[in-house]
Structure 1
Amino acid sequence: MVRETVLRVRYSEIDAQGHVNNANYLSYFEVGRVEWLRDAGHSYREMEERGYGFVVVEALVRYRRAAYFDDELKIRTEISDLSRASVQFAYEVLREDGLVATGHTRHAYVDLASGKPIRMPKELDLLGSG
């Protein structure tokens, strides 16, 4: 399942050169991931209430072109790899004139009380969702 989320670049997200600061792309990825999960019938809040969550174990961003204040960006998010112990989301950040950035984040499932890795909880069922 591919989920598209639209957002507009805020002034606070640009740097001294006038384009989106590179670190903000990880926040954009997070917006896409949260909305992907919501569309799949899950939420971070529900996962936390059940005692488990995701921790980022890997993040990669490839910058293709600059984005600027007030640009409307589309974040495409999908699962690119899934195992019993982790999930990887892939992202594309697009503007109407083309690709701005691509990347991925890999997340381990963890028990929030102990911080220890766990297998994907049955009720999460990302295989059935994606």
Structure 2
Amino acid sequence: MSPIIHTHSLRVRYGETDQMSVVYHTNYLNWFEVGRTELIRAAGLSYRQLEEKGVLLPLTDASISYKKPAKYDDVVEIRTHVELISPLRLTFAYEIVRLPDEELLVTGKTMHVFTTTDLRPIRLSKTEPEVYAWLEAQHKGEQL
């Protein structure tokens, strides 16, 4: 089965572009964060609530591949899914496409570990089994 893909659309703001009206490269990483925040929100849980439960998701690695530039006032869609999950780690994969033609602009991944608020690794499957089960179901393409 394929993972469930969560989507979030936004319009490129002027402040996200350079003098050529092209989105500045680091903004795509910010959009990745928007994608994973909205994916977690789809579980009925915000990042803030996860942190209040004592669980953090620090970033350990990021990769990004630029295909074509987004420009000022474009409408783009961030497509996010859980690519890999284990009790200790989580990898999200992303595609950013321009709408309405769905032209692929950027692909990327971010890797995270589950930790306590003092950055000690934890097994999410034991600490927050419901959250872990939901993320695992997303990866497997299952609805809970």
TM-score calculated relative to the size of structure 1: 0.93
Aligned residues: 129
The amino acid that maps onto 2:129 is K
Name which of 36, 40, 52 aligns with 1:37. 40
The amino acid that maps onto 1:127 is E
Structure 2: how far apart are the matches of 1:103 and 1:128?
Answer: 21
Contact 2:56 2:119 in 1 (8 A): no
TM-score calculated relative to the size of structure 2: 0.85
1:83-113 Cα deviation digits (max 9, x unpaired): 111110000000034100000101111100x
For the pair 1:127 / 2:136, whether they are aligned, the reply is: yes
1:1-48 Cα deviation digits (max 9, x unpaired): 111100011111001332000000001111111111111232211111
Structure 2: gaps spanning 5 or more residues = 140-144
4+ long deviations beyond 3 Å? none
For the residue of structure 1 that corresponds to 2:34, the secondary structure is helix
Q: Who is 1:71 aligned against?
A: 74
For the residue of structure 2 that corresponds to 1:54, the secondary structure is coil
Higher strand share goes to which structure? Answer: 1
For the residue of structure 2 that corresponds to 1:110, the secondary structure is coil
Q: Who is 2:120 aligned against?
A: 116
Shift of 1:129: 4.3
Contact 1:40 1:129 in 2 (8 A): no
Q: Who is 1:14 aligned against?
A: 17
Contact 2:9 2:78 in 1 (8 A): yes
The amino acid that maps onto 1:79 is V
Structure 1: gaps spanning 5 or more residues = none
CA RMSD, 1 decimal:
1.2
For the residue of structure 2 that corresponds to 1:53, the secondary structure is coil
The amino acid that maps onto 1:85 is L
For the residue of structure 2 that corresponds to 1:52, the secondary structure is coil
For the residue of structure 1 that corresponds to 2:107, the secondary structure is strand
For the pair 1:101 / 2:101, whether they are aligned, the reply is: no
The amino acid that maps onto 1:68 is K
Identity %: 40
The amino acid that maps onto 1:67 is A
For the residue of structure 1 that corresponds to 2:68, the secondary structure is coil
Structure 1: how far apart are the matches of 2:44 and 2:12?
Answer: 27
